Amino acid sequence: MNRILIIKLGAVGDIIMALPAIRRIRLAHPDAEITILTSRPFASLFEVCPDVDRVDSSARSGRKFESLWLARRVLEGGFSLVYDLQASAGTRRLFLALRLLTFGRKQRPRWSGPFRGASDPAPDLDRSAVRAQDRHAAQLDVPSLPTAGVDRQTPDLRWLADQSTFALPGSPYALLIPGASPGGAAKRWPEAGYAALAAALESRGLVPVVLGGSDDPELGRRVLAASRAGLDLVGKTSLFDIAALGASAEVAIGNDTGPTHLAASMGAPTLFLVSDASASALRAPFETITPLYAPRLDALSVDAVMEALGRILEEPSPP
C-alpha cells in the first residue's frame, strides 16, 4: 500500500488553514493510506477528518533527540512521500535527520517542503506576506507532485460541526471572540468594546454568545455584565462546538485567534479585528472575513467597529 505522511502542527488557526491542502492531497492520492503528524490537542479533530486515515500525535517539542526519534518513526512507517505543511525550523531538523539516517540508500521518502535538498522543493514564500492557504497551494502546484493535477480546494467542513453534541441557541445569535493566545495582549481589542457590542447586538435582536478559553474563565461574565440575554460559553466549548456555532451564527466578531478563524471557515460572516501585531498575510485568511485594521487595537473606536458590523449585518445572505 502507498503510504503518505502529512506534517501539520501549530495552533488552531494554522490547522484550519491547512484543511484545503489536506483535502487536495487526499484527492491526489485516493487509494493511499494517509497519516498526519500533528500536535496532541488536534488529534481528536483529525481522527474524524475524512481526508486522513491515521493520526500520529507523538511529536513532543523539547524531547531530547526529537528529530532523530521522529525520523526513525517516519522510516518505520514506510512512507513514500512526506508533505511538510508546517515548514518550520523543527521540520527542517526532521528533514535533515531523515537524510542522515538514509545516507547512501537508494530509497528514501520523497519530501515536499521549502528546504534545500528536498526531492520536491516548494517555493520558500514569506510567511508574513503570503497567506498560509496560498503557500500551501504553491507547494502542491509543484509539477513533480501528484497534487499538481488537482484543482485548489474549498473543502466541505460540515464534518467538523457534525461532531458537536452542543445545544445551539434557539434564537439568532452573534459570536463574540474577545480573547487571544497567551502573550497575545496586543491582539486583543479592549473588553469594554466587546461589552458595548453585546448591548448593540441585543438591540438588533441577536443573542450575544461569548467564546473563549479556560485560561480566563471570567472573560464572558465581564463582557456580558450589562447583558440580559447573553450566553457565556467561555471555557465550555470544544473545537467541534465552535464549528457548529460558526456554521449557524448570523455574524462573528473576534480578534486574531483560532476560534475566530474556525468560525469564519464554517461560513460565519466575520468581522476580524487586527493590528500591526498580526502579520499582514493573516488579516483576511478566509473569504468570509471582513478585516478591520488599526495600528493598535486599543485605538480602534467602538463607533468604527459598530459601523463595520452594521455593513456586514445589512448585506444580503448568500443564496
pLDDT tens sequence for the chain (319 residues): 799 999 999 888 889 999 999 999 999 999 999 999 999 999 999 999 999 999 999 887 766 678 999 999 999 999 999 999 999 999 999 999 999 999 877 788 999 999 999 999 999 998 878 888 899 999 999 999 999 999 987 778 999 999 888 888 889 999 999 998 777 789 999 999 999 999 999 999 999 999 999 889 999 999 999 898 899 999 999 999 999 999 999 999 999 998 999 999 999 999 999 998 887 655 565 678 899 999 999 999 999 999 999 999 987 655 5
User: Per CATH, which fold does 3-155 belong to?
Assistant: Rossmann fold (3.40.50)
CA–CA dist 306, 187 (Å, integer) = 19
**Which distant-in-sequence residues (6+ apart) come within 8 Å of 194 by Cβ?**
176, 178, 210, 223, 253
pLDDT at 189: 96
Helix and strand tally (H, E) in the chain? 11, 12
Residue 156 and residue 295: Cα distance in Å, rounded?
Answer: 34
> How many whole angstroms from its chain centre is CA 289?
14
233 Cβ partners below 8 Å, 6+ apart? 209, 210, 211, 212, 220, 241, 245
Neighbouring-strand partners of residue 207: 173
For position 284, what pLDDT does the model report? 60
Quick one: which of 270, 273, 311 has its CA closest to 288?
270
Of 37, 41, 36, nearest to 52 by C-alpha is 36
Question: Grid cell 472573560 — which residue?
Answer: 219
pLDDT of residue 220: 95
Domains 3-155 and 160-314 share a fold: yes
Report yes or no: 213 and 235 within 8 Å, Cβ to Cβ. yes
Question: What's the distance, Cα to Cα, between the start and end of the chain in Å?
Answer: 43
- 111: closest CA among 269, 223, 260, 5? 5
CB 260 within 8 Å of CB 177: yes
d(CA 282, CA 132): 8
Torsion 273-154-86-61 (CA) sign: positive
Q: Residue 76 CB: number of other CB atoms within 10 A?
A: 8
* pLDDT, position 287: 74
Euclidean distance between CA atoms 133 and 146, whole angstroms: 18
Other C-beta atoms lying within 10 Å of the C-beta of residue 80: 15
CA dihedral 164, 169, 172, 178 (to 10 degrees): -80
The label of the residue with cell 547512501 reads: 104
**In the chain, domain spans:** 3-155, 160-314
CATH architecture of 160-314: 3-Layer(aba) Sandwich (3.40)
Answer whether 19's CB lies under 8 Å from 157's CB. Answer: yes
Residue 53, CB-side half-sphere exposure with 13 Å CA sphere: 14
pLDDT for position 75? 94
